[in-house]
Amino acid sequence: MRPLPDNKQNNIISLLLSGTFVPKIQSSLGVSTSTISRIHSQYCPNLPKNPPGCPCKLTAKSDCHALHLITSQKADTAAQVTRTLKSITNQSLSSHTVKRALKRAGMKPVIKKKRPLLKKSHKQAHFDFALTHKDWTLEDWKKVVWSDETKINRMGSDGRKWMWKRQGEGLSDRLVEGTVKFHGGSLMMWGCMPWEGPGFACKIDGKMDGDLYIKIMEDELKESLAYYNKQTEDVIFQQDNDPKHTCKKAKAWSKSKSLRSSNGLHNLQTSIQLNTYGITSREGWESMQPHPLAFWSFGRGYRRNGTR
């Protein structure tokens, strides 16, 4: 083997001490990796070796900035972060490099949840609602009558159903959710719930508009209040901001009956009195059978489609 010139050997040692990566020394001086490794072991035994692979293009500062872009909602995806970092560092970057940096920082990609859009005015309304009611006592909350609509499926939930299976287990009846046309049907129910207990429920056929909503309040709401010896002026009627609840006709009716209505936070709503008995819109028709008290008005034969 031909001896390596002294000047080239000194250049290799100098580059190793400066922290230059082996691939770059190899390409610049035209020497093999084994030669560089031998010189490293012979002349620089205490010098730590560089980590294997290509050097990371992103510095610690760039990693921190990428994390800031995500957490401050200035970027949602790795591709958006990549474009921003390219304009700052003036170097070529791939989205895979940014993804690895985000994963090192403890981030992971997830699917965004779909929820009603909250504008600045909505957030301010939520804050005002909290300030208004922060000093309410238990007696104040006892005056509230909660109301809402809910969908009850005849056959199970609209959402996913999870099962446990062994690794490599084939498809079987246990792992299959049977479906039928039109999902087996469902019920749309309206109901209310004062402090004392559940009110009357009402089955809704077809689409509910402002006129039908007023009829429901005329009958089911007033009868629920009468059952507990209450008057409309004694309660605060809580409902969400559905257009049929806030239409001019509904507001005029509430005003004529001296009914104080509150279109407050929807997440403070209960999902009508059916939930009191363990019934939710995610459960099936079978869950309704053990709870006859939740079907006072349904048992009386009320079917709301705009007529009695």
**Interval 6-46: pLDDT, tens:** 788 888 888 888 877 777 888 888 888 888 888 888 888 88
The pLDDT of residue 302 is above 70: no
| pLDDT grade for 263, boundaries at 50, 70 and 90 | low
C-alpha angle 253-217-291 in degrees, rounded to nearest 5: 165
The pLDDT of residue 281 is above 60: no
The pLDDT of residue 178 is above 80: no
Identify residue 47 by its one-letter amino acid code. Answer: L
Average pLDDT over residues 228-238: 90
Strand-pair partners of 304: 204
| pLDDT grade for 298, boundaries at 50, 70 and 90 | very low
Instruction: Give the pLDDT of residue 183.
Output: 59
Instruction: Report the alpha-carbon distance of residue 37 to residue 34 in Å, rounded.
Output: 5
Q: Which two tokens stand for residue 60?
A: 């610690």
Instruction: Give the pLDDT of residue 24.
Output: 81
The pLDDT of residue 307 is above 70: no
User: How large is the C-alpha radius of gyration of the chain?
Assistant: 34
- DSSP letters spanning the chain: -PPPPHHHHHHHHHHHHTT--HHHHHHHHT--HHHHHHHHHHH-TTSPPPPSSSPPSS-HHHHHHHHHHHHTTS--SHHHHHHHHHHHH-S---HHHHHHHHHHTT----PPPP-----HHHHHHHHHHHHHHTT--HHHHTTEEEEEEEEEESSS-SS-------TT----GGG-----GGGG-EEEEEEEE-TTS----EEE-S---HHHHHHHIIIIIHHHHHHTT--GGGSEEE----HHHHSHHHHHHHHHTT-EEE---GGG---TGGGGGT--TTS-GGGGTT-GGGGHHHHTT-EESS--
Identify residue 125 by its one-letter amino acid code. Answer: A
**pLDDT tens by residue, 70-85:** 999 898 899 999 999 9
**pLDDT tens by residue, 105-120:** 888 888 888 888 888 8
Q: Closest by alpha carbon to 193, among 220, 155, 170, 212? A: 220
Instruction: Give the pLDDT of residue 287.
Output: 47
Average pLDDT over residues 129-146: 90
Average pLDDT over residues 78-95: 89
Please enumerate in sequence order all residues whose Cβ is within 8 A of that of 130, keeping only pairs 6 or more positions apart, or say none. Answer: none
Instruction: Give the pLDDT of residue 51.
Output: 66
Within 10 angstroms of residue 240's Cβ, the number of other Cβ atoms is 16
Instruction: Give the pLDDT of residue 84.
Output: 92
C-alpha angle 39-40-42 in degrees, rounded to nearest 5: 60
The single residue listed with the structure tokens 């104040």 is: 140
Q: What is the mean pLDDT of the chain?
A: 78
Instruction: Give the pLDDT of residue 33.
Output: 83
C-alpha angle 223-225-226 in degrees, rounded to nearest 5: 60
| pLDDT grade for 264, boundaries at 50, 70 and 90 | low
| pLDDT grade for 52, boundaries at 50, 70 and 90 | low
Q: What is the pTM of this model?
A: 0.52
Instruction: Give the pLDDT of residue 270.
Output: 39
- Residue 9 sits at φ, ψ, to 5 deg, of -65, -40
Average pLDDT over residues 285-307: 43
Least confident residue range of 34-48, 189-203, 230-244, 290-304: 290-304
Length of the chain: 308
The single residue listed with the structure tokens 């705009």 is: 306
